[in-house]
Amino acid sequence: KNQVEQSPQSLIILEGKNCTLQCNYTVSPFSNLRWYKQDTGRGPVSLTIMTFSENTKSNGRYTATLDADTKQSSLHITASQLSDSASYICVVSRGSGGYQKVTFGTGTKLQVIP
Amino acid sequence: DSGVTQTPKHLITATGQRVTLRCSPRSGDLSVYWYQQSLDQGLQFLIHYYNGEERAKGNILERFSAQQFPDLHSELNLSSLELGDSALYFCASSVGWGDNQPQHFGDGTRLSIL
């Protein structure tokens, strides 16, 4: 069964600290993995997209890693800011030749406190 | 601001009714995607259109239908509404139709069924 599991479900960290969010998937055949940030009441915002051949991708203070062998990805946030408080969603696509089947994780809710 | 416009922002209606949600993609984007986000099921992909043609279908119910018009705006029609259809409906757009395209989300239409 194609599944995407994220951990932890929620996380509270102090402003300025780093944190790492995890995403494990069983989706096959793998096409790509995306990380989104979603503020409460807003649409998701794309952070990174990684294909099979990419194992690291950065977007400012956000760095995503992908290990296609173990089917794991992580999102590392450096020097957190209050504005990082949001839900972070991992999305894995399978298939090719178009926007094929996608499986969404249930997200990690991050709260950054002063 | 993602450049994707969704109307209306909020919609309240009753069971059995029919509603139409509208999406205007970013200027230059040819692909439109529709998603449903509910509290118990998270984000789900519904359907993808590229330049007026349906490209991929996800977990879209038969009571739901969509189309993309020549000016590239899209509409999602929901009929015979049930309480379980209460959710946030997001539209996203991208330049092309390939699976690795970054998607830009609108802020959604919140549908409440009474």
Q: Terminal CA-to-CA distance of chain A, rounded, Å?
A: 41
Q: What is the nearest CA distance from A97 to chain B, expressed in angstroms?
A: 7
Q: What residues pair up with A94 in beta bridges, in sequence order? A: A30
Report which of B31, B12, B28 is spatially closest to residue B91, judged by C-alpha positions: B31
pLDDT digit string, tens, across residues B8-37: 999 999 999 999 999 999 999 999 999 999
Residue-level pLDDT at A97:
57
Residue-level pLDDT at B39:
80
Spatial distance between the Cα atoms of B42 and B2, rounded to a whole number of angstroms: 21
| Mean per-residue pLDDT, B49-76 | 94
| Mean per-residue pLDDT, B53-61 | 90
Q: Is A99 close to B31, i.e. CB distance below 8 A?
A: yes
Residues 6 or more apart in contact with residue B39 via CB below 8 angstroms: none
Would strands A108-113 and A10-14 be described as parallel, antiparallel, or unpaired?
Answer: parallel
B104 interfacial to chain A (CB closer than 8 Å): yes
In the block, residue with structure tokens 């090719």? A96
pLDDT at B104 over 70: yes
Q: Is A95 close to B99, i.e. CB distance below 8 A?
A: yes
Number of cross-chain residue pairs from A and B with Cβ atoms under 8 Å apart:
61
Spatial distance between the Cα atoms of A109 and A38, rounded to a whole number of angstroms: 9
B38 interfacial to chain A (CB closer than 8 Å): no
Q: What residues pair up with B9 in beta bridges, in sequence order? A: none
Residue-level pLDDT at A2:
78
| Mean per-residue pLDDT, A29-47 | 93
pLDDT digit string, tens, across residues A8-37: 999 999 999 999 999 999 988 888 999 999
Residue-level pLDDT at B71:
95
Residue-level pLDDT at A98:
56
B22 interfacial to chain A (CB closer than 8 Å): no
Residue A113 · residue A15 · CB < 8 Å:
yes
Q: What is the nearest CA distance from B28 to chain A, expressed in angstroms?
A: 18
pLDDT at B80 over 70: yes
Q: Is A102 close to B42, i.e. CB distance below 8 A?
A: no
In the block, residue with structure tokens 């899209």? B74
pLDDT digit string, tens, across residues A51-102: 988 999 999 999 999 999 999 999 999 999 999 999 999 999 887 655 567 8
Nearest beta carbon to residue A31 from set B56, B99, B104:
B99
